């Protein structure tokens, strides 16, 4: 049978509804086939065939009651329904499972659905093609027809949703936000013109091109863009519940902001620069100043600003400025802005689509000229005016329930994404026997009663069940009465005996309830569910907050103080730059005593201890800071130590400057100086070639803990003789494995050098 049959002759057809009505009348014994055929104008043979097929469908279904007969005829089943593997109810269960899996953000692919169908058929002991068993998967043709029989299902490309967003958007977080929102609304009585929302989005110089017209059947269609990867510029939009906007703010990846960056931008737009091009705590204060100027907010006329709880938005400076200028800061729950923020809901989507067209038109009008960050303000001006419209903005506030206020805007289906991670904390175990009695007796009897209420029983079976149930309760009373006389002997034994008797009576096989259970796909492949929490430890989880309130302000200040204390205690890694002042301090603080301590059991392995003189009371703070790396913890250093500075001098030769008549040959190791604005940096290199005009081609070594090695990518340059400080002796290889043997060590004491030589690529950690 072909997949899509096309009729070759145009015969007069009887409407399908008429045929179904005739079949229904025949099956329900209201009419005979002859009478129904003449009444409804259907051929007798056709009606006879349709009635026979309908009866086979009823016999193939799960039940044969009258309601199923009518539903089968009205539903318009396929004429080959008798050859289907699953019944109507079973396929409906499979359809329901697929829809629920998609709602909780764990939808099934075609391949996974076919595997599930095979497992479902095996569990139901269905008859299916042998290819299913060989491949352990349902056939492609069955999948195609299954999708055709269930038009409510379709193959869709899902939008990637992170686990954080799926779990964070739940009823608890949403209710907590609306509680804060209504709280500030009741306190300040904001009208819609004073309710604002701000958020950042990134605009890259390389944006996905829009759809273009191309030849049909061509596999790849290309479109020219500015580059492989673009440069990001942050765009900050501000909108109100009445549909008004504030000119946007641009943040460029530049240290210094130039006025020409905003050429062609929206009138009133502002721009700033940051090292990364992202929002910072300092720039957010600038944005608050911009909002304050545009809205004329004050303590007498405050405004409400809704935002996400990014760390750059909740600094102490931003909170203090907002409190002083009448800006009430309320944050959305973390990872919920995709459904609760007006800008993300209805504004930024059209804005990005318009930007695609604008960027593509610019590249088409200027072939060969890429889009730079200096063009972004101009290219986003027209998309801004077309997307930041009152209609889009008001729709965003309405669809999120912010204005008009509607905390019931989200239904239960919207929270299905949090099903997989919706779990409770583990409850502590209760060992009291009285609590065991309560938790076992009541639910057991109640659960049996509820199960029987959902099962169709005959009147005699129901009476028998209620009699047994009454006997259970009566026996429980008798047991409790008899055991009261022995209460003084053993209370624990009494309670356990009561529980055992009641459970024994309640679990007697009255009827086979389990046999009436219909096997569902969720029994074979349960819905994804996260494992229960192992501990009750509460992690620091963000939530919706009113940051301008006094308790939140105090909390933020305490967190800031703790952060500063931790930073001061741990310190930060940085490169030590030694200037003349610190060099003089280092010379005056040169180590005075060196002791060799023999390690027990090994005479060759020595550890050298360096004793540092105490700081004088007159030494300055700057000198002590510059010398801190030499006095830190008075560590013991091995002779083969990896420390940044080796303080021993006994085994090292003195370094001498290059003489005027000293000859430099190939393969010699030299010390080369590179002067900078404030200091002189030295590098160790090897002469690999003698160039013309007295120049030398040097291959530089990399310094790692006073051990030198050639980098993977050669670092080669040409220098003059004047840049060479001196020749170094032949290095020795470091003993050890294959990796260490590639390192070289010079038997040179750099501590006795002149002041400027101490800048030899040392790195220290404070």
Show Cβ contacts of residue 182 under 8 Å, excluding neighbours closer than 6 positions.
Answer: 405, 407
Q: Which pLDDT tens digit goes with each residue over 253-289?
A: 999 999 999 999 999 999 999 999 999 999 999 999 9
Contact 639, 608 (CB under 8 A): yes
The residue among 731, 687, 729, 674 whose CA lies nearest residue 708 is 731
Q: Which of 19-33, 423-437, 467-481: highest mean pLDDT?
A: 19-33
Nearest alpha carbon to residue 365 among 374, 373, 375: 375
**What is the pLDDT at residue 129?**
94
Output the CA angle 705-706-709, nearest 5 degrees: 90
With a cut of 60, say whether residue 602 has pLDDT above it. Answer: no
Q: CA neighbours within 13 Å on the CB side: how many for 757?
A: 18
Q: Where are the alpha helices (DSSP H) in 485-536?
A: 491-506, 521-524
- What count of other Cβ atoms lies within 10 Å of the Cβ of residue 375? 20
Give the sheet arrangement for strand 636-638, strand by strand.
593-599, 602-611, 636-638
Among residues 325, 328, 394, which one has the least CA distance to residue 188? 328
Question: Omega into 267 within 30° of 0, i.e. cis?
Answer: no
Identify the band that residue 12 occupies on the pLDDT scale cut at 50, 70 and 90.
confident
Helices 44-60 and 16-27 sit at what angle, rounded to 10 degrees?
70
> What is the model's pTM?
0.60
> Residue 359 pLDDT > 90, yes or no?
yes
Task: Say if residue 396's pLDDT is above 90.
Answer: yes
Sorted by sequence, the CB contacts under 8 Å of residue 476 that are 6+ apart come out as 441, 498, 501, 502
pLDDT band at 722; cut points 50, 70, 90: confident
Whether the predicted pLDDT of 588 surpasses 90 = no
Question: E-assigned strands of 390-518?
Answer: none
- The pLDDT confidence band at residue 750, using thresholds 50, 70 and 90, is low
Please give the pLDDT value at position 312.
93
The dihedral of CA 619, 624, 626, 627: what is its sign?
Answer: positive
pLDDT attached to residue 574: 45
Q: What is the pLDDT of residues 530-587, one digit of tens each?
A: 887 776 655 556 789 999 999 999 999 998 888 888 777 665 544 444 444 544 444 4
* Beta strands in 264-384, from DSSP E residues, in sequence order: 270-273, 303-307, 327-331
Query: How far is residue 258 CA from its own chain's centroid?
Result: 35
How far apart are alpha carbons 343 and 239 in whole angstroms?
8
Tokens encoding 288: 């608050």
For residue 634, is pLDDT > 80?
no
Sign of CA dihedral 93, 95, 101, 103: negative
SS3 content of the chain, % helix, strand, coil (to 5): 45, 15, 40
What is the domain partition of the chain in residue ranges?
Answer: 16-83, 88-149, 164-211+227-418, 433-519, 578-638, 653-765
**Tokens 């006795």, residue?**
752
Out of 74-88, 327-341, 685-699, least confident range: 74-88
Answer yes or no: is pLDDT of 80 > 60: no
> If you search the block for the tokens 């801004």, which residue do you land on?
384
Alpha-carbon span 509 to 459, nearest angstrom: 18
Torsion sign (Cα): 482, 485, 490, 492: positive
Six token digits for residue 39:
């009444």
The strands making up 669-675's β-sheet, listed across from edge to edge, are: 716-719, 696-700, 680-690, 669-675, 724-728
pLDDT of residue 601: 45
User: pLDDT (tens digit, 9 = 90+) per residue, 493-510?
Assistant: 666 677 677 666 666 554
Fold for domain 164-211+227-418?
Nucleotidyltransferase; domain 5 (3.30.420)
SS3 at position 3: coil
Tell me the H-state helices in 75-139. Answer: 88-103, 110-123, 130-135
- Cα-to-chain-centroid distance, residue 698: 49
Which pLDDT band, with edges at 50, 70 and 90, does 517 fall under?
A: low
pLDDT digit string, tens, across residues 109-147:
999 999 999 999 999 999 999 999 999 999 999 999 999
CB atoms within 10 A of CB 340: 24
């Amino acid at each position: 049978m072909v997949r899509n049959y096309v009729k070759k002759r145009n015969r007069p057809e009887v409407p399908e509804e008429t045929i179904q009505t005739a079949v229904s009348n025949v099956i329900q014994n209201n009419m005979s086939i002859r009478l129904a055929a003449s009444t409804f104008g259907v051929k007798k043979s056709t009606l006879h065939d349709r009635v026979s097929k309908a009866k086979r469908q009823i016999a193939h279904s799960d039940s044969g009651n009258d309601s199923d007969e009518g539903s089968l005829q009205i539903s318009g089943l396929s004429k080959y329904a008798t050859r289907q593997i699953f019944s109507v109810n079973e396929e409906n269960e499979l359809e329901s499972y697929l829809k629920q899996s998609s709602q909780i953000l764990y939808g099934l692919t075609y391949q996974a659905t076919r595997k599930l169908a095979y497992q479902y058929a095996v569990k139901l002991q269905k008859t299916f093609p042998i290819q299913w068993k060989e491949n352990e998967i349902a056939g492609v043709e069955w999948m195609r027809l299954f999708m055709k029989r269930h038009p409510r299902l379709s193959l869709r490309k899902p939008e990637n949703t992170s686990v954080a967003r799926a779990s964070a958007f739940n009823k608890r977080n949403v209710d907590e936000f609306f509680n804060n929102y209504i709280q500030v609304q009741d306190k300040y009585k904001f009208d819609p013109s004073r309710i604002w929302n701000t958020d950042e989005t990134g605009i890259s110089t390389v944006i996905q091109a829009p759809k273009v017209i191309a030849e049909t059947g061509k596999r790849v269609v290309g479109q020219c863009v500015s580059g492989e990867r673009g440069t990001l510029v942050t765009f900050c939009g501000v909108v109100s519940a009445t549909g008004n906007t504030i000119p946007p703010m641009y943040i460029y990846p530049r240290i210094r902001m130039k006025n020409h960056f905003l050429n062609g931008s929206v009138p009133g737009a502002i721009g700033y620069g940051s090292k990364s091009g992202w929002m910072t705590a300092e720039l957010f204060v600038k944005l608050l100043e911009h909002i304050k100027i545009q809205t004329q907010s004050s303590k007498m006329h405050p405004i409400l600003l809704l935002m996400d709880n990014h760390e750059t938005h909740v600094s102490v400076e931003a909170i203090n400025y907002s409190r002083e200028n009448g800006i009430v800061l309320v944050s959305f729950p973390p990872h919920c802005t995709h459904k609760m923020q007006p800008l993300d809901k209805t504004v930024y989507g059209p804005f990005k689509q318009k930007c695609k067209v604008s960027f593509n038109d610019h590249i088409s009008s200027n072939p060969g000229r890429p889009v730079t960050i200096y063009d972004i303000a101009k290219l986003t001006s027209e998309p801004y005016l077309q997307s930041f419209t009152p209609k889009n903005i008001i729709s965003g506030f309405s669809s999120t329930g912010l204005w008009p206020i509607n905390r019931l805007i989200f239904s239960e289906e919207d929270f299905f994404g949090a099903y997989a991670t919706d779990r409770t904390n583990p409850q502590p175990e209760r060992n009291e026997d009285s609590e065991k009695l309560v938790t076992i007796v009541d639910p057991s009897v109640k659960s049996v009663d509820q199960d029987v209420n959902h099962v169709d029983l005959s009147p005699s079976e129901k009476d028998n069940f209620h009699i047994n149930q009454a006997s259970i309760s009566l026996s429980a009373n008798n047991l409790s009465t008899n055991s009261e006389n022995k209460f003084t002997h053993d209370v624990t034994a009494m309670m356990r005996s009561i529980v055992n008797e009641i459970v024994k009576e309640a679990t007697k096989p009255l009827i086979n309830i389990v046999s009436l259970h219909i096997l569902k796909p969720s029994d074979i492949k349960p819905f994804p569910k996260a494992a229960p929490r192992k501990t009750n430890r509460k992690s620091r989880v963000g939530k919706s907050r009113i940051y301008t309130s006094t308790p939140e302000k105090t909390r933020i200040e305490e967190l800031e103080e703790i952060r500063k204390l931790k930073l001061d205690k741990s310190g930060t890694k940085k490169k030590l730059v030694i200037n003349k002042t610190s060099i003089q301090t280092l010379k005056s603080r040169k180590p005075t005593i060196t002791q060799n301590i023999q390690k027990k059991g090994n005479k060759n392995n020595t550890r050298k201890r360096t004793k540092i003189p105490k700081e004088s009371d007159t030494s300055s703070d700057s000198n002590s800071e510059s010398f801190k790396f030499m006095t830190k913890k008075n560590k013991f250093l091995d002779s083969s130590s990896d420390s940044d500075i080796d303080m021993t001098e006994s085994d090292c030769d003195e370094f001498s400057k290059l003489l005027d008549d000293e000859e430099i040959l190939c393969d010699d190791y030299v010390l080369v100086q590179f002067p900078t604005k404030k200091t002189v940096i030295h590098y160790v290199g090897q002469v690999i070639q003698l160039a013309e005009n007295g120049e030398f081609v040097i291959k530089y070594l990399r310094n790692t803990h006073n051990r030198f090695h050639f980098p993977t990518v050669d670092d080669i340059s040409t220098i003059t003789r004047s840049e060479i400080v001196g020749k170094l002796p032949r290095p020795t290889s470091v003993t050890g494995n294959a990796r260490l043997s590639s390192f070289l060590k010079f038997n040179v004491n750099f501590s006795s050098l002149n002041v400027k030589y101490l800048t030899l690529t040392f790195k220290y950690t404070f």
